[in-house]
Amino acid sequence: MKITRYTRMNMKYRAITKKCKAMIIAMVTALAIVMSASVTAAGDAAKGQEVAAGICAGCHNPDGNSIIPANPILAGQHVEYIIKQLMDFKSGEGESPNRESAIMGPMVASLTQQDIENLAAFYAKQKPESAGNVTDNESYLEMGKRLYHGGNIDNGVPACASCHGPSGAGIPPHYPAVAGQHAEYTFIQLNLFNEGKRINDKGVMQKVVTRMNGEEERAVAEYIQSMDAPQ
């Protein structure tokens, strides 16, 4: 009797260890798959730099710290966001791209997925520099700061900080860094979202900006430019 009970328990124990082993193997395999995926997804920044120097530097500066107000600063932006935007600028045959741009469309047309990952790796590694405060209207900075951090309950605008972070560093992979970006570029994008001409945000930004008035858009864009670049 004693022996059978022991044997039964032993068998049960063995079955449990077998299950555990299978689980551990499954977990290790899953981890290995995740890790190898991140290795293949990681772009080669040195190769990215070569393409950037050849095609992109004239507009975004060699290190991605664009000095032209309508051209975005790319330095320090999240890898995933850059990849998404470059893919969104691309259009399939006879289809319109997710993000329409007369300038960027032709730039990405001949880039491969690998080029795009390399470029993203390169720009994400560059140290961003804030475009800096250039406002000639100090009241905009006040209004922009209030909106950015607290939103506006009167018209239901949510705080930008809730998605783009209190320091404007964004939250990867979905929420881009915005701090220090050129006010002109930001203002243009807010208008494009507002008019439904930039629609690659799944309606998230559109819901935010359609509640804002033009003065609020301008104010928050100027405040964002005055913020320190994310470190």
- Where do contacts with ligand HEC occur on this chain (CB under 6 A)? 55-56, 58-60, 70-72, 74, 82, 84-86, 101, 103-104, 107, 119, 147, 157-158, 160, 162-164, 174-176, 178, 186, 189-190, 200-201, 204-205, 208, 220
- Residue with token string 């997925």: 113
Q: How far is the CB of 57 from ligand HEC (least distance, A)?
A: 8
Q: How far is the CB of 175 from ligand HEC (least distance, A)?
A: 5
Alpha-carbon torsion, ordered 125, 130, 131, 133, to 10 deg? 170
Q: How far is the CB of 161 from ligand HEC (least distance, A)?
A: 8
Q: How far is the CB of 93 from ligand HEC (least distance, A)?
A: 21
Q: How far is the CB of 138 from ligand HEC (least distance, A)?
A: 19
Give the three-class secondary structure for 175.
strand
Burial 134-166 (b: 16+ CB within 10 A, else e): ebeeeebbebbbbbbeebbeeeebebbeebbbe
Whose Cβ is closer to ligand HEC: residue 158's or residue 172's?
158
DSSP structural state of residue 218: H
Whose Cβ is closer to ligand HEC: residue 90's or residue 164's?
164
Whose Cβ is closer to ligand HEC: residue 29's or residue 113's?
113
Whose Cβ is closer to ligand HEC: residue 112's or residue 231's?
112
DSSP code string of 108-147: HTT--HHHHHHHHHHHHHSPP-------S-HHHHHHHHHH
Whose Cβ is closer to ligand HEC: residue 45's or residue 119's?
119
